[in-house]
Chain A
Amino acid sequence: MITLRGLTKRYGDKAAVSDLSLEIAPGKVTGFLGPNGAGKSTTMRMILGLDRPTAGEALIGGRPYAALPRPLTEVGALLDAKAVHPGRSARAHLTAMARSNGIPVRRVDEVLETVGLTAVAGRRAGSFSLGMGQRLGIAGALLGDPRVLMFDEPVNGLDPDGVLWVRRLMRSLAAEGRTVFVSSHLMSEMQLTADQLVVIGKGRLLADAPVTEVIAASSRNAVRIRTPRPGELAARLAAEPMPLQVTRSDAGELAGDGERADERAGELIVTGAPIERIGMICHEIGVPLYELSPQEASLEEAYMELTGTSVEYGAGAPQKAGV
């Protein structure tokens, strides 16, 4: 369990993290999302006691990281795969790590085996590819058999096999009852891996909810209708006493040619109305349906909507959602 209470980090008068309060629960993979510069890495560094919070606190099992007598046996973290001395072999790095926390040195070979680095254990870490570096970092995180694991962008530089491996690793760590806190900018990856999402933007908490809820809450969830009489249906829907929006996605094609329009059917996208109600309306007015289907927003779309106004270093163009 990781607990953040009013966690704040200011650099001068610029807040990198503002009053972040949340709990990261065990037994789940919690995805940590936010645009570049949103404060993800700063938050993780504060959890590990590397950066001092300006205000608030970050606790692990109720205590600050620095108060843990053998921190590696309670928290395993991979923040920066490059934060290994390039002149030291993978095995020597992990051996020193084990000794620092009184972890049996035989664990070193076990975790090297787990991450698939046994064959290159004697090679200098500086000669490792980014993907091998990530694996070494993950080996270090697993070394102390900790109950809390934190990974900052763990799939960076991994090949598709490696990505799949990391995904299964996260899932199995969570299934063992551990707390797994993973930051990523890859929404699709989080949609597959995470149970819970914590979204921050400009250092502020934007969302802390199960993945399914974040997606469901997106205003971009819509209903798609294909019908030969789109005009009639659209007019009827517009009369409904609810704030729904109807879009004719095929207006151009239909113009002018009534007969063909009937055959080809028109398409409507409706947001803000439950699919059941739309079905009833169609039945009431006797409009035939070729298709009535829910259009679920992707996590990426939900995320864009959440963070749209909090992109720190945007590309200039407004983050406007197209339909």
Chain B
Amino acid sequence: MANLTGLRARGDHNGDRENDGDRGGNGGAHGRGGGAVGGGLPGAVAAEWTKLWSLRSTWWALFAAFGVMGLMSAILATSTASNNTNAITTDDQGVVQVSGIAVGATDLVQFVLIALAILMITGEYATGSIRTTLQWVPLRDRMLAAKAAVTAAVMLPAGVALGVLGTAVAEPLLGRWGRLSAGDAVADVLAVGVYLALTCVFILGVGTVLRSTAGALTTAFLLLMAVPMLLVNSSVKALGYVADALPSTAGRHFMAGEGGPYPPAVGLLILAAWAVASLALGTVVLRRRDA
């Protein structure tokens, strides 16, 4: 019979083969490709990386993120400059840190990248391809860890690049109202990258628990934007503490540097704790649920 399967012929095949050597009989199949071992977490990460970049939506989301960053930084920079020069003196901000404009713009830009992170998991539930993914990588924690690693690996440099873009756009528009020191700018731009990476990993966990794109996006908007705003404006002091413990507020304190209710490092820790907690919850839910 013709070799229909396109697979390497195996002379040693017989009916008993699977019964005896279990692992030992695998040499023929596994030894191909110059001793390719692979699999495991590195394999899972490589697969997620390939999957992410083979979708057009990834490229569109990144493209959009840079567009929104450019636009937001331009708006923030020009409004800062005009506030300082107009007749109203109460809104004067004086000379600002140029990279601080990029940090401010991140509040909005983050939602584009968050949508991308959410789609990495909810997109698979929507298309049914989650079952294929789990066939490749059946260990739930490994599958989610791979997605988190890829999310962080994409969002960190993307965030840094976005920070650089925002700073570059803001600088000429701020003119004499902008202050640019290399040390502060590098710190800000790195902070934007770290913030976006951790926030996207956090939201990946949320998407894993909720499985729905719309549900996860709504949750992200409420938790990162609406709820902190409401709490901060509340007159009850305890609610202010709650707001400070939320991921986006913690992230803002982390990016803003000294002067917040707690040091930036604490803000970073709080944000990281949210990311770890959501991944842990996502793993627990994945393990319990049928795919």
Contact = CB atoms under 8 A, between A and B. Distances in A.
Interface string B1-41: 11111111110011101110010011001101110111110
B129 A84 contact: yes
Contacts, number: 172
B123 A85 contact: yes
A97 interface: yes
A8 interface: no
A131 B22 CA distance: 35
Given A99-B47, A101-B136, A172 B55 contact: no
B132 A99 contact: no
Interface residues of B, number: 57
B139 A88 contact: no
B124 interface: yes
Contacts of B124: 85
A169 interface: yes
A186 interface: no
Interface stretch (A31-39, A143-151, A257-265): A143-151
A92 B18 contact: no
A144 to B, nearest CB: 7
Contacts of B57: 87
B44 interface: yes
B39 A100 contact: yes
A49 B134 contact: yes
B29 A144 contact: yes
Interface of B: 1-10, 13-15, 17-19, 22, 25-26, 29-30, 32-34, 36-40, 43-44, 46-48, 50-51, 54-57, 123-124, 127-132, 134-139, 288, 290-291
Contacts of A27: 14-15
B127 A86 contact: yes
Nearest to B133: A100
9 contacts: A61-B22, A68-B138, A74-B26, A85-B129, A88-B55, A99-B38, A102-B37, A107-B33, A114-B6
B20 to A, nearest CB: 11
A84 B132 contact: yes
Given A92-B51, A148-B18, 7 more contacts: A48-B135, A71-B135, A83-B129, A85-B127, A96-B136, A176-B10, A178-B13
Nearest to A165: B4
A99 B46 contact: yes
Interface of A: 1, 25-27, 45, 48-52, 61-62, 65-66, 68-74, 77, 79-80, 82-89, 92-93, 95-97, 99-104, 106-107, 110-111, 113-114, 140, 142, 144-148, 165, 168-169, 171-173, 175-179
A103 B54 contact: no
Contacts of A165: 4
Contacts of B37: 102
Contacts of A45: 131, 290-291
Contact of A87 (B5, B25, B56): B56
Contacts of B139: 66
In the A-B complex, the 8 residue pairs with the smallest Cβ-Cβ separation, listed nearest first, are A102-B38, A104-B33, A177-B13, A114-B6, A100-B47, A92-B54, A27-B15, A96-B50
B40 A69 contact: yes
A50 B15 contact: no
A62 B15 CA distance: 16
Nearest to A137: B132
Contact of A179 (B2, B18, B46, B137): B18
A30 to B, nearest CB: 13
A13 to B, nearest CB: 17
Nearest to A75: B135
Contacts of A65: 138
B251 to A, nearest CB: 30
